Amino acid sequence: MEAKVSDVLRHKGDRVVTLMPQQTVAAAVQLLAKNRIGAAPVVDEQGRIVGIVSERDIIRGMSEHAGALLALPVDQLMTREVKTCLLEDRLVDLMNVMTFQRIRHLPVVQKGALCGIVSIGDVVKQRLEEVQSEVEDLHRYIRSP
């Protein structure tokens, strides 16, 4: 059975920390640090994804704006073209997308609504658990009479 995004969220949970476009970059930095996360989707009043703010966006912003960055609204910093995934997407496909497009966080949508977020770390952890299970199955098979 191939693992899907829904398998990751079943273990991880579907809680998503979000930002609003008018929040400051300083608030975004505090939110990311407090929740020990590397990115947060930016949503409008209806909860629709309008962007995403990542650690990379903040570093890039610091190089352009220095200390003035912290007072800017996140909509001036966020990545607007947000790549998303679906609950039924296969993890092997996500691994390819995340690796080759250099994306570390993908919001998960269902019927157009944000329902989770997966990181490359989540995907790797799920895959490691699968491989460990496969190894244990092979050991049992080899040892069986």
pLDDT tens digits, one per residue of 100-112: 999 999 999 999 8
Count structural domains, the chain: 1
- Tell me if 21 sits within 8 A of 50, measured CB to CB: yes
User: What mean pLDDT is reported for the chain?
Assistant: 92
This prediction's pTM: 0.85
What is the span of the domain harbouring residue 58? 5-143
pLDDT for 128 equals 82
Contact 118, 94 (CB under 8 A): yes
Distance in angstroms (rounded) separating the CA atoms of residues 83 and 80 = 9
Report the CATH number that the domain containing residue 118 is assigned in CATH.
3.10.580.10
**Does residue 77 sit in helix, strand or coil?**
coil
Dihedral angle sign, alpha carbons of residues 39, 27, 13, 125: positive
Per-residue model confidence as pLDDT tens digits over 57-98: 999 999 998 889 999 999 999 999 999 999 999 999 999 999
Contacts of 19 (CB under 8 A, 6+ apart): 27, 28, 31, 40, 41, 42, 43, 53, 74
Phi/psi of residue 128, nearest 5 degrees? -60, -40
* pLDDT of amino acid 1: 66
Q: What pLDDT sits at residue 126?
A: 84
- Kindly indicate the confidence band of residue 138, based on its pLDDT and cuts at 50, 70 and 90: confident
Per-residue pLDDT tens digits for 116-131:
999 999 998 888 877 7
